[in-house]
Amino acid sequence: MLENLQQQPADKILALMQLYREDTRDQKIDLGVGVYKDASGNTPVMRAVKAAERRLVDQQTTKAYTGLAGDPAFADAMIDLVLGDVVARDRIAAIATPGGTGAIRQALELIRIASPDAKVWLSDPTWPNHPSIIKFLGMQSATYRYFDSETCNVNFDGMLADLENVAAGDVVLLHGCCHNPTGANLTADQWPQMIALLKSKGAVPMVDIAYQGFGDGLDDDAAATRLVAAGFDEVLIAASCSKNFGVYRERTGILMAIARDPEQKALAQANLNFLNRQNYSFPPDHGARVVTTILTDPELRADWEAELEETRLGMLALREQLAGELKRLTNSDRFEFVADHRGMFSRLGVSPEVVEQLRTEHGIYMVGDSRLNIAGLNEQTVPILAAAVAKSI
């Protein structure tokens, strides 16, 4: 049997990580992997997470399974964090999942059993796992223009023109905030226009929100998702706790399915429970319980929000520093967009040849499409990156 297996396509980011590990140079910079790092290059455990974990160790009396959907308190806490009160709770089905990736996978599985002929529309570009999972599941997909590589901003006219081709019942996957891999987001004026178009086409929105709190703040980053949720009878939302709570290895995520009414919600919930049972039975609980403890305890939540805000402002400062250094060294506004984008990522807009030159000559590692992780920088490495880019272009 095993001799019939074929090699699968290598993950470019994982391959880049391997090259970085094998690089023996003392001065090297990893801007490839999508993990938050502090100024020392560490991915810290947040203060509130440590406190919540200590409380769990002291108070938890069992490691028995949770329900198929996970702890209901986790769903309630995350629905409040992401959606606030814009949708009645009796319209929202939800399941805990192994990270945001698990939520994406379960959402696509739900689409496949509910509407097998639906086409899933993806931004060009998007997170590579989106098309990878869709292809693996044998689902139909299409892309809509999103990023203008010349201006390094959203190609909104192109986006709307492509979404005119969406058919009723198709699913359009949207990034709730901090677009991955570009960092370029729709403006507050553009979201309602895009929503109106999708409603006129009878499309079903699916929102991937993995970086809430990393862009403009918790509520501001959720604003677009809330606008979408309030505007449609049916919406799928995949949310991750990996970044904003720093619980990467705990694999903590949630899938929400907004239904037309409580009766449809009950049917959706039963199907979500079924999908969890088929894929992994009961979802992981430790990270979910940590997140719930933080969100429901005023003191822990205040400390978490304060540390998250420090993280967000630190990334914005790095963006401004990098844009300023590049402007000084290139004597142009070509890279001004870096300061305007949000989240962990931006695309520099340089060629794959320049990206390769940065790696081989300067020990600077970023993805081939010039996506770099802003959080992989610090005040000392920003000038090094800027000088290398200016020299390479």
On average, the pLDDT of the chain sits at 96
Q: Which letter does DSSP use for residue 269 in this model?
A: H
187 pLDDT band, cuts 50/70/90, is: very high
Residues 185, 221: contact at Cβ < 8 Å? Answer: no
Q: What is the pLDDT of residues 138-174, one digit of tens each?
A: 999 999 999 998 899 999 999 999 999 999 999 999 9
* Residue-level pLDDT at 40: 84
In this structure, whether the domain defined by 65-296 belongs to CATH 3.40.640.10 is answered with: yes
Residues 290, 59: contact at Cβ < 8 Å? Answer: no
Q: What is the pLDDT of residues 103-118, one digit of tens each?
A: 999 999 999 999 999 9
Please list, in sequence order, all residues whose beta carbon lies within 8 angstroms of the beta carbon of residue 141, skipping any fewer than 6 positions away: 119, 120, 121, 122, 131, 134, 135
Domains of the chain, by residue range, sit at 10-45+309-392, 65-296
Q: What is the pLDDT of residues 295-312, one digit of tens each?
A: 999 999 999 999 999 999
Q: What is the pLDDT of residues 41-84, one digit of tens each?
A: 899 999 999 999 999 999 999 999 999 999 999 999 999 999 99
Rounded CA separation 255/143 (Å): 23
Rounded CA separation 145/154 (Å): 9
Structure tokens at 312: 């967000």
In order, the DSSP letters of 51-112 are HHHHHHHHH--------TT--HHHHHHHHHHHHTTSS-GGGEEEEEEEHHHHHHHHHHHHHH
Q: What is the pLDDT of residues 244-275, one digit of tens each?
A: 999 999 999 999 999 999 999 999 999 999 99
* Residue-level pLDDT at 13: 81
* Residue-level pLDDT at 174: 98
pTM: 0.96
Longest dimension (CA), the chain: 62
* Residue-level pLDDT at 41: 85
Mean pLDDT of 188-207: 98
Side-chain-facing half-sphere of 241: CA atoms under 13 Å: 33
* Residue-level pLDDT at 119: 98
Rounded CA separation 386/393 (Å): 11
Q: Name the class of domain 10-45+309-392.
A: alpha beta
Positions annotated as catalytic residues are 127, 208, 210, 243
Residue 354, pLDDT > 90, answer yes
Structure tokens at 149: 């590589």
Rounded CA separation 348/370 (Å): 5
Please list, in sequence order, all residues whose beta carbon lies within 8 angstroms of the beta carbon of residue 253, skipping any fewer than 6 positions away: 96, 97, 98, 99, 100, 101, 102, 103, 238, 239, 240, 241, 242
Rounded CA separation 185/187 (Å): 6
**Residues of the chain with pLDDT > 70: what percent?**
100
10 pLDDT band, cuts 50/70/90, is: confident
* Residue-level pLDDT at 184: 97
